[in-house]
């Protein structure tokens, strides 16, 4: 097998191994009657600023008379 044949083979696997997009997940969620729509939480992710962002959102919701819980780790 030549180098080019090996690279072509690897690239051919990528086409069939991954289907990018959320279409299949959306089909599953529809079959489950979209349980995510009933969830009432905010998930904050990222590298920096999660603590201050979550505290600010929590305080804003408390000021608007919402019952809140804040978990950080």
In the chain, how many domains are there? 1
Range of the domain at 10: 3-63
Q: Is 13 left (phi over 0), alpha (psi -120 to 50) or beta?
A: alpha
pLDDT level of residue 37 (50, 70, 90 thresholds): very high
Does residue 44 form part of some domain? yes
The model's pLDDT over 13-27, given as tens digits with 9 standing for 90+, comes to 765 666 778 999 999
Say whether 66 sits in a helix, a strand or coil. Answer: coil
DSSP 35: G
pLDDT score recorded for residue 19 = 75
Indicate whether 34 pLDDT > 70: yes
């Amino acid at each position: 097998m030549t180098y080019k044949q090996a690279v072509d083979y690897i690239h051919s696997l990528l086409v069939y191994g991954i289907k990018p997009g959320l279409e299949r997940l959306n089909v599953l969620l529809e079959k489950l009657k979209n349980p995510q729509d009933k969830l009432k939480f905010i998930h904050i992710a990222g590298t920096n600023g999660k603590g201050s962002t979550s505290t600010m959102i929590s305080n804003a919701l408390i000021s608007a008379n919402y019952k809140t819980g804040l978990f950080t780790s």
